[in-house]
Structure 1
Amino acid sequence: MANMKKPVKAAIFALCILGAGCSAQYRNHGYVPSEEELAEVVIGVDTKDSVAETLGAPTAGGVLEDGGFYYVRSRVRTIGPSRPTEISRELVAVTFDNNGIVSNVERFGLEDGQVVVLSRRVTDNGLNNISFIRQLLGNLGSFDPNALL
């Protein structure tokens, strides 16, 4: 009977390790102000400086100088060796008018998101996987000493 306890304990230990390795792990990225903090921002009154002081530095700013402030937070779940999945995303956009006064505060979620397909344009150099050495050796036969004179 005492000999049976070791395999049972080992099996229980292995199941615990295996179960812990396959449990969901969560990671949080970014920062989004709470509703209470957003209530302190007054549309038509607050400026970029007062918003930065009230809400903190934005995660991202607008592309142009008069662009808005963007606060982004996402939550990612990973289960075992599978690919991480974004389970929630929240974005708060604070936009400003031309004078730097708050004109709008909007909140977006993952369900409001839109998949944006990125494309890469590459200039074709016509070499088609020819190595540098092969290019160099290929030019040896086309050398014309008269062209130097």
Structure 2
Amino acid sequence: MSRLGSGMRHGAIVLMLVALASCTAIYRNHGYVPRDEDLEKVVVGESTRDDVAQAVGRPSSTGLLTGAAWYYVGSRFRHFGARAPEEVERQVLAVSFAENGTVENVERFGLEDGQAVVLSRRVTDSNIKGLSFLRQLLGNIGNISAGQILNDN
């Protein structure tokens, strides 16, 4: 009986250690933002798009209309247990270009500088709210007319 008790005790300790380890936060990085050392190669008013591409690489997104700006976006997410991932850090580097193709401005924004913008919301409203599955299933009994049955044959 002593062996069974100590085995259960060891099992409980192992289970507690596994549970404790699963509650450790895991951080994941997404995207790319150039380092300051690389940005020193970009000179406002002189560097062109090709110079920026060579110094820091091409961005993941550009301005929508004319490509007048390049945006480098990097985010850091914290995954904690069964909770939804939480964005804890975001950096956006915006390199804007003048009409002649030279760098006009370089700006860096953080998570605290932005706000959430909903680009598209696609929700289909259901007209069956409040109806149980059984009521929906039985609700169509009697809705078939004899004319529909004859037309199908």
- Give the TM-score of the pair, scaled to structure 1: 0.77
2:137 corresponds in structure 1 to none
Structure 2: state its 5+ residue gaps: 129-139, 149-153
Give the distance between the partners of 1:52 and 1:101, measured in 2 at CA.
12
Residue deviations 1:49-101, cap 9 Å, x none? 11011001102111123421110000000111111100000000000000110
Structure 1: state its 5+ residue gaps: 123-127, 142-149
Q: What letter is aligned with 1:45?
A: E
2:65 corresponds in structure 1 to 64
Give the distance between the partners of 1:117 and 1:59, measured in 2 at CA.
20
Contact 1:66 1:100 in 2 (8 A): no
Give the distance between the partners of 2:66 and 2:98, measured in 1 at CA.
11
Q: May I ask how many residue pairs the two structures share in their alignment? A: 130
Contact 1:21 1:80 in 2 (8 A): yes
2:8 corresponds in structure 1 to 7
Residue 106, structure 1, aligned to residue 107, structure 2:
yes
- Give the TM-score of the pair, scaled to structure 2: 0.75
**Could you tell me how far 1:115 is from its partner in structure 2?**
2.2
2:94 corresponds in structure 1 to 93
2:131 corresponds in structure 1 to none
Residue 37, structure 1, aligned to residue 38, structure 2:
yes
Q: CA RMSD in A?
A: 2.6
